[in-house]
Amino acid sequence: MKQLLLCGVALCAFVATPAMAADSAEGVKLKLGGYFKGYVSYVSQDDSTTSVRSVDILRATEVYFDGSTKLDNGLTVGAHIEANADVGDGFSVDESYAFFSGDWGRINFGGKDGVAYMIQVAAPSADKDVDGISQKIQPFNFAADGITVGETDYEQNISLKADKITYLTPVMSGFQGGVSYTPEADDSSRATTGNADDDDDADASSDVWDLAVRYQGDVGETKLTLGAGYTVAQVETGTAEDRQAWNLGAVVGFKGFNIGASYQNDDEGDDNDDVDYVAVGVDYTMGDYVLGASYYNKNDDVGTEIDTDRYTVGVNYKAGPGISFRGSVEYLEADVTGGNDFDGTAVLVGTSIDF
């Protein structure tokens, strides 16, 4: 019955919206957006199995389409379709969902991140695309040193973009909360093949629940952002335990300075071991320039123990609306128990164009 909880929340929200006219005179409005992030990357790293280029070009590109309208009863209805558009990685749909919003909050329905990541508090960064909560650019080639470091960011997103229902409350006195339910975390959608099989996917997760809360407000001249999130997922194997993850984050801002930290723990469905993520950052804004620095640690005890540390400094220049130029330097080291260790330095210079 718990699977019906979120559907009940959604139904209550719609019932609470007065049913007036069903049509909007303006119709559905289409919006096109996206980004291009391109960098020249210089890397000096360990490469015991394959030689790695010192200089290369790295990029990430995405486009999205929004179609929405506001009905006469005040309900906003729309759909969002988002796709990766890099030549090397092909053109693939990343998100596809409908949304409904009003004074009562917002509902997302379809392939979209869960609420534990959507309102997760991120630490300040040198360049959010390089050392942020959801890394877009990774300069190091770990495979060339024969190791598997895994992700070097810290988003709490166990269900990824799998089909789900999410409810977000309106922001009230700086507070916002939310809940997400994902029936099957296989990151695929179904239209003509019926409901997914139950309890048949090795190492997959189902019945994923996300809960999160966030506060953002001012205390005098100080800006304060706080947040917490929790995820529990049923692991569909006979030996693994249900997977649980949680995060805490805080950022304090004062007169152009921001300092903050984020912590996440993910037990990966293992009773004895887990993965811990720590990110600490600071930045300072001077007009169109932002100077930043961050420290990141991931301690992965699940399977082969890997301890990863990264130090990053950088500068961002806002050249105009949606256009910025960026430069950063980072040093990363990974200690692998019983295997090859890794260390590397990267210098990145690039641009981000958001439209």
**pLDDT of the residue at 265:** 98
Q: Phi, psi (5° rounding) for residue 285?
A: -100, 125
In a domain, 65, yes or no: no
Q: Is the pLDDT of residue 48 over 90?
A: no
- Taking the alpha carbons of 323, 262, 313, 311 in that order, is the dihedral positive or negative? negative
Give residue 1's pLDDT.
Answer: 45
**Does residue 189 have a pLDDT over 90?**
no
- The residue with greater pLDDT, 160 or 189, is 160
Residue 311 inside a domain? The answer is yes
In-domain check, residue 70: no
CB atoms within 10 A of CB 16: 10
Q: Let me know if residue 16 belongs to a domain.
A: no
Distance CA 100, CA 79 (A): 9
The answer to the question of residue 66 being in a domain is no
**∠ CA(7), CA(1), CA(5), 5° rounding?**
30
More confident of the two residues 85 and 290: 290
The residue count of the chain comes to 355
Share of the chain above pLDDT 70, in %: 86
Q: Does some domain include residue 107? A: no
pLDDT-derived band at 199 (thresholds 50, 70, 90) equals: low
Half-sphere exposure of 126 (CA within 13 A, CB side): 21
Looking at residue 237, what is its pLDDT?
A: 66
Q: How confident is the model at residue 238 (pLDDT cuts 50, 70, 90)?
A: low
Structurally, how many domains does the chain consist of? Answer: 1
Helix (H) or strand (E) holding 135: none
- Is there a domain that residue 24 lies in? no
Give the structural domain span for 276.
37-59+113-189+204-354
pLDDT at residue 88, as a whole number: 73
Q: Give every CB contact of residue 169 below 8 A, 6+ residues apart in sequence.
A: 105, 175, 176, 177, 178
> Residue 273 sits in a domain of what CATH number?
2.40.160
User: What pTM did the predictor assign?
Assistant: 0.89
Q: What is the mean pLDDT of residues 135-152?
A: 91
Give pLDDT, residue 25. 54
Element (H, E) at 128: helix 128-131
Contacts with 33 (C-beta within 8 Å, 6 or more apart), sequence order: 63, 64, 66, 354, 355
Torsional class of 217: left (φ above 0), alpha (ψ -120 to 50), beta (otherwise)? beta
Q: What is the model's pLDDT at position 193?
A: 58
The per-residue pLDDT for 239 is 66
What pLDDT is attached to residue 11? 46
Q: What is the mean pLDDT of the chain?
A: 89
Determine the pLDDT at residue 258. Answer: 99
Domain membership flag for residue 92: no
Q: How confident is the model at residue 340, as a pLDDT? A: 83
Which of the four pLDDT bands, split at 50, 70 and 90, describes residue 73? very high
In terms of Cα–Cα distance, which of 201, 226, 207 is closest to 215?
A: 226
Residue 11: which residues within 8 A CB-CB, separation 6 or more? none
Residues 208, 196 contacting (CB under 8 angstroms)? no
Least confident of 110-119, 200-209, 288-297, 300-309: 200-209
Task: List, in sequence order, every residue forming a beta bridge with 211; answer none if it has no partner.
Answer: 179, 230
